[in-house]
Structure formats: structure tokens, C-alpha cells
Structure 1
């Protein structure tokens, strides 16, 4: 039994579950005023999140024991389903606050673009692990897989969702870089991606407002574009070092919009102060560190690219959210992985971490076998 338990990366798994349970507590704290207003139930959002946690844990434990190599057999199916789901969103998706990003399935809403992030990582890790002979050739090696990624990017922009689309480009670029592409090819791709994102950001009036407002939210408060960030500033300042206490946030009382989703970190900072913020950062650091270790120990290029792609995907999401809440970047609408309210985001994070956990599990198995063989050799020599 102990040998079986040794196969798992308990630091990685512990950080994942600690963040998820912490997030559930903070979702209740941040959302109970809104739950009372919407459904006369302070546990309204917690109950819905618990449904997704139950689904997510079921999927997590299955995929944790599903060999990551087998995903290679399903890459064409994964890519096809991803593209079809994005097309369905454009055709019959549910419109919320001017964005058509969800497909309703009974009482639940699913955001396909969240799952596309994992599909892109799997697809690029697989293709570039097979294209090592041509990785130095831009036309034959680097470019063809990116055509599909650009197509997905375009479908996501039709929703529109620049934050998710940008994340996909960044993760894709990271996988291309780690696969060994030449610097001049990377610079070319980076320049094209920057131009595309900049053009999309500056040509949409509401995105332009966000870009301008994050630089000076107080000037644009009366227009509404700076209000959310100002309330986030107030929440974080109010919390100080020690926080006001769990459940004692003032800003969640209808001052701070979306306190349980995009801006849950502001509520955490207000109620738990710097200690709550440090707890989250330490958990993310442990996940990233153990993910990098697993990637470095993985012997297959597909597994290495997959592990690093997942680590950077989670890091980009985390950085985008924390930077938006603290006013260092424009508001993108990206949630805080494992902590924010949101079923699709939670499920995708758990799927990604289950794959990462399987890679780490195999790496630990290799270490155990290596130490066993070394011990056996020493015993034989003695």
C-alpha cells in the first residue's frame, strides 16, 4: 500500500485540493449577499459550485490514472470537437451581458472556449513532438499546426472573448518555444500575435475603455469603466495586513461587481489580508514548481511539452487575474483558477491538473524503479 501511495505527488495534489476548498469557502463569503438577492438563498452559488466540484473530482480521479500517452490517439477527435463546440457557441450560444460564450445544458452552462485551452495544449504538444525533424523550418515545421490555432482564436473572438483568445496564443507560443523553434521564427510569430491582439483591443470601443480605464480608473469612474477597479482598490486597502475577518467584507455588499468570480481575490485581500493572499500565491507556486519538476523528469517530449504547457496555462490565467484585480493590467474577465466561481473554469483546471498529476505520477514511478534497481545492484555487489 505504501508503495502505491509513494507514486503520487502529494505536494501537487495537496496544493490543488487546498486551493479548491479555500475557494469554496471564499465563494460563499463573497457571494451570499448576491445569493440572497437573486434566489433568497445565501448558499445559492456554493450549491452550484459544489455540483461542479463533484463532477470535477470524479473526472480528476479518472484522468489522474489515465496514461497521458494515450491522449495522442484522441488528438484528431479532441480538435474536431473543440472546433465544432466553438461553432455551436456562435450559432446557438447563450448571450450574457453582450457576450455569447456559453451553451446551456439544463440548469448548467458550459463555456467551450475554456476546454479549448486544454485541446490546444494537447494538440501542439503532440504535433511538435512529432515534427522535431522540421522544427527549424518555418513553413514545413512551425506554421501548419498554428493555422488550426488561429482558426480557433478567430472563433473565440466572435464570441467575443479577447482574454481567453490571448491566453490561447500565449500558451501556444510557449509550446512552440519549448519545442525548439528558431528565435527568428518566434520573434516573427510574437510580432504578428502582438499586432493582432493590439488591433482587436483598440478597434472595439468597450475594450478601448478598459485599456484606458485601468491606467486611471478614477478619471473614468463616472462612465462606469473604472468603477470595478476602484472598488477592488478599496477592498484591498481596507483589508490591510491582517484583513477584516472572514465574512466581514464591505465591498462585496453590492459595491464590487462580480465579487465571487473575476474579483474574488479582492474579497480575499479584504477579509484575510496579506496572509490570505500569500496562501494563494504559495499554493500556485507549489503547483507550478511540481509541474516543472514533473516535466523535466518526463522522458517523452510529448509529456514534457504537455506538462510545461499546462503549467504556463495556469500561470498565465493566474497572472492575468491578479494583475487585473490589482490594476496592473486591463480587466480581461479571466477567473482565478480553482478559486473563482465558475463551473467550466473549475472543470478545465482540474482536467489539466489531473493530466499533470499523471505525468508527475509516472515520473515518481521512474524514480522508485531507479532507486530500487540501484539498491539491488548495491546488495548484489555486497
Structure 2
């Protein structure tokens, strides 16, 4: 038997430590970045942090449950997860809450949530399950590669209608990674990549605000009184912080100068108040999460677990890159939040859920190495003979 003491010891504590160090640091920075706006709008300095703490508590509960929930069961739950994702996205379009010229939230039983965050994780589970069972046909486009992508296109369309091109593109990127790691042929990958890039480029030029983001990315100072203002204020935050930062709570840009200071652009406030030391801490934590996650995927003895681990890791890393790139002006602004740190309950819970699944895959890897006669490893090897062939 896999005893409790051994089980606790077998958890990937390096990964867990990095996740919660990042999350707790995020809570501190959400409070610092949000209290001026909180006072201005709600006459209370703790409005935003109080709500974030509630979601953090829920996220910890979800993490504790999922880190002990055998990831193999997601194969059976996959159709229900993807079905729920579709239903929630339809509800957003029908009954969603509008904010900032977009409808991305829905209120269920008094709780506001952003279904597209669930979709990010749901797509990974679905694709990992389907492609792990299509290894005999993975070199065939019509029967192996294409069928699961129909679901992805449907989800992409529903998210695009909110509109939320940033999240839709993120899902395409993660899908591409999973298809590649599933063993699809290069010409199929090249075709899908070219088609996806063409579609995204077409969509960018169909909306003025997206074109404006590209223009601001190229030269924000040419539009300093309009759509280039946010990026310029971000530059000022980063420059003000220097190496060691202005000090906790000492940001000037959060005092109404930098829009979305506690959400999409919280990394700029981190740079301003904690300097490059704080940015280095964030990068280090994401590096540890990425490294441990990739190691977990490589050590997994079945394709489903590997694709699941790789999908979660790349989704988190892509989010970090897209967010950091936007804040620093190295990439166009996409509206992608910073995982574990940005204000937003659904994003925080789903990020913790993804990390918890990684921890469970690591736990099962440990169990398989030290208890090779267990039923788990026999089932995995029978289902995925072609993985290491």
C-alpha cells in the first residue's frame, strides 16, 4: 500500500512551494496595486483584496482536493468537462455580464465567474484524452488530427464572440503544442499553423481596437494621448522601480495613471515597487514551475498524463510570456492575466487547479517508480503501448 507518510513525502514540494510563493506574493501585490482604486470606488481599501482572499481560500480547497484526485479519472470526465465548458460559454453570450466593452462573465447562484478560464484547462484535458487514444491514426489528418480540432474551433468561436481574442489565441497555442507532442506529421502541423496565423491576422484587422493595440505596440509615444497611454504608463512604472523598487505601497502609477494596475498590468506595479528583484522572483517561480512541470511530463509513463502535464505547463508559461510581453512592450496587449498573481477569482482558482493536477501526476509517477506492480501502471502501459515505441 502507498502509505500516508510516504504519500506526503512523495508530493512535489518544490513545485508546490513555487506555486504558493507566487500566489502569496500575488495577494500582497493585489492589495498594494488595488487599494487606491478600492478606496475611490468603494470607500474601502480592502474591497478587492477581500474578494481575492475568498477566491484564494476556494483555490486552496480545490488544490488540496485535486492534488489527491487521480488524474487518470479525467479521461472519463473529459466529455463532461468539455460539455460544461460549451454550456457556460453559451450562457455568457446569452446572459453574460458586460464590462469594458466585452461580455466574459456570467453570474451563477450569485457567484461571478469567467468560463473562458475553465475552458483553458478543459481543452487540455480533452485533447490529452483524445490524442492519447488516436495514436494509431495520428499520422492521418482526416481521422487522427482533425476531428478533435472541430471542438477547439467551436470553443474558439464562442470565446471570440465575447470578444476575447487573447484567450482564443492562447487556446490555439496550447492546442498546437499538444498536437505536436502527440506525434502529428510536420506537414499537418505546418498547415494548421499557417491557417491559424492567417485567421488570427484576419481577425486582428476586423476590429479597430485590435489594430490600435498593434499601432501602440509599434510606437506607443505616437499615440500618447489615446491607446498608447497604458503602455507608456507601464514603461514609467518599470523605469521608476529600478533595481530594488520604490518600496511596497509606494507606486505612483497605481494612483489612477496606469489602467488595470491590479489585473492585466500588475507586473508593472511589481516592477515599480519591488524593482528587478521582484521581477526576478516572479521569473524564478515560473521557471521552477515550468521546469518541474516539464520533468513531470517527461517522467510520466503514459501519453495521456504526459500530454496533460505538458499542456498545463505550456498554458501557464504562454500566459506568463504574453502578459509580461504586453507589460514590457515586447508583445501587443492581449488582456491575458498573469497566472497566480493578477486579480481575478476564476483565473486564480483554475491556475491552482492546473498546478494541483501537475502535483498529482508527479505523485502517480513516484508511485509507479516505487510500486511497479501496482494496478495503475499496468493499466497505463496497456492503454498506451505506442507511446514509447
TM-score (norm 2): 0.93
Once the two structures are superposed, residues 126-180 of structure 1 have per-residue CA deviations (whole angstroms, 9 ceiling, x without a partner) of 0000000000000110000001100100010000000000000000110000000
Question: How many residues are matched?
Answer: 369
Which position in structure 1 is the counterpart of 2:233? 231
Q: Which residue of 214, 217, 223 maps to 2:217?
A: 214
Residue 202 of structure 1 and its aligned partner are, at CA, apart by 1.1
For 1:238 and 1:317, locate their aligned partners in 2 and report how far apart those are by CA, in whole Å. Answer: 25
The reply on whether 1:352 has 2:363 as its aligned counterpart is: no
**Secondary structure in structure 1 of the residue aligned to 2:222:** coil
For 2:95 and 2:108, locate their aligned partners in 1 and report how far apart those are by CA, in whole Å. Answer: 12
Which position in structure 1 is the counterpart of 2:270? 268
For 1:30 and 1:79, locate their aligned partners in 2 and report how far apart those are by CA, in whole Å. Answer: 35
Q: Which residue of 338, 341, 345 maps to 1:336?
A: 338
Once the two structures are superposed, residues 239-273 of structure 1 have per-residue CA deviations (whole angstroms, 9 ceiling, x without a partner) of 01111111111111111111100000000001111
Which position in structure 1 is the counterpart of 2:10? 7
Residue 113 of structure 1 and its aligned partner are, at CA, apart by 0.7
1:243 and 1:269 in contact (8 A); partners too: yes
For 1:104 and 1:84, locate their aligned partners in 2 and report how far apart those are by CA, in whole Å. Answer: 13
Supply the RMSD in Å over aligned alpha carbons: 1.0
Which position in structure 2 is the counterpart of 1:67? 70
Residue 2 of structure 1 and its aligned partner are, at CA, apart by 4.5
Which position in structure 2 is the counterpart of 1:313? 315
For 1:368 and 1:290, locate their aligned partners in 2 and report how far apart those are by CA, in whole Å. Answer: 19
For 1:64 and 1:312, locate their aligned partners in 2 and report how far apart those are by CA, in whole Å. Answer: 19
For 2:358 and 2:7, locate their aligned partners in 1 and report how far apart those are by CA, in whole Å. Answer: 18
Once the two structures are superposed, residues 327-367 of structure 1 have per-residue CA deviations (whole angstroms, 9 ceiling, x without a partner) of 01111111100011001110110111111110011122234
The answer for unaligned runs of 5 or more in structure 2 is: 373-389
Residue 76 of structure 1 and its aligned partner are, at CA, apart by 1.2
Q: Residues 232-247 of structure 1: matches in 2 within 5 Å?
A: 232-247=234-249
1:135 and 1:142 in contact (8 A); partners too: yes
1:9 and 1:364 in contact (8 A); partners too: no
Q: Residues 160-239 of structure 1: matches in 2 within 5 Å?
A: 160-222=163-225, 224-239=226-241
For 2:330 and 2:321, locate their aligned partners in 1 and report how far apart those are by CA, in whole Å. Answer: 10
For 1:60 and 1:12, locate their aligned partners in 2 and report how far apart those are by CA, in whole Å. Answer: 13
For 1:108 and 1:220, locate their aligned partners in 2 and report how far apart those are by CA, in whole Å. Answer: 38
For 2:114 and 2:55, locate their aligned partners in 1 and report how far apart those are by CA, in whole Å. Answer: 13
For 2:246 and 2:179, locate their aligned partners in 1 and report how far apart those are by CA, in whole Å. Answer: 45
Q: Which residue of 135, 140, 152 maps to 2:155?
A: 152
The reply on whether 1:18 has 2:58 as its aligned counterpart is: no
For 1:174 and 1:25, locate their aligned partners in 2 and report how far apart those are by CA, in whole Å. Answer: 33
**Secondary structure in structure 1 of the residue aligned to 2:264:** coil
**Secondary structure in structure 2 of the residue aligned to 1:219:** helix
Which position in structure 1 is the counterpart of 2:376? none
Residue 5 of structure 1 and its aligned partner are, at CA, apart by 2.4
Which position in structure 2 is the counterpart of 1:361? 363
**Secondary structure in structure 2 of the residue aligned to 1:258:** coil
Which position in structure 1 is the counterpart of 2:108? 105
**Secondary structure in structure 1 of the residue aligned to 2:220:** coil
2:319 and 2:339 in contact (8 A); partners too: yes
Which position in structure 1 is the counterpart of 2:297? 295
**Secondary structure in structure 2 of the residue aligned to 1:95:** strand
Once the two structures are superposed, residues 21-72 of structure 1 have per-residue CA deviations (whole angstroms, 9 ceiling, x without a partner) of 0000000111110110111111111100011011111111101100000011
For 2:196 and 2:99, locate their aligned partners in 1 and report how far apart those are by CA, in whole Å. Answer: 28
For 1:104 and 1:237, locate their aligned partners in 2 and report how far apart those are by CA, in whole Å. Answer: 39
Over 6 Å off, 4+ runs? none
Residue 106 of structure 1 and its aligned partner are, at CA, apart by 5.4
The reply on whether 1:88 has 2:87 as its aligned counterpart is: no
For 2:350 and 2:178, locate their aligned partners in 1 and report how far apart those are by CA, in whole Å. Answer: 18
TM-score (norm 1): 0.95
Residue 75 of structure 1 and its aligned partner are, at CA, apart by 1.2
Which position in structure 2 is the counterpart of 1:377? none
For 2:70 and 2:109, locate their aligned partners in 1 and report how far apart those are by CA, in whole Å. Answer: 32
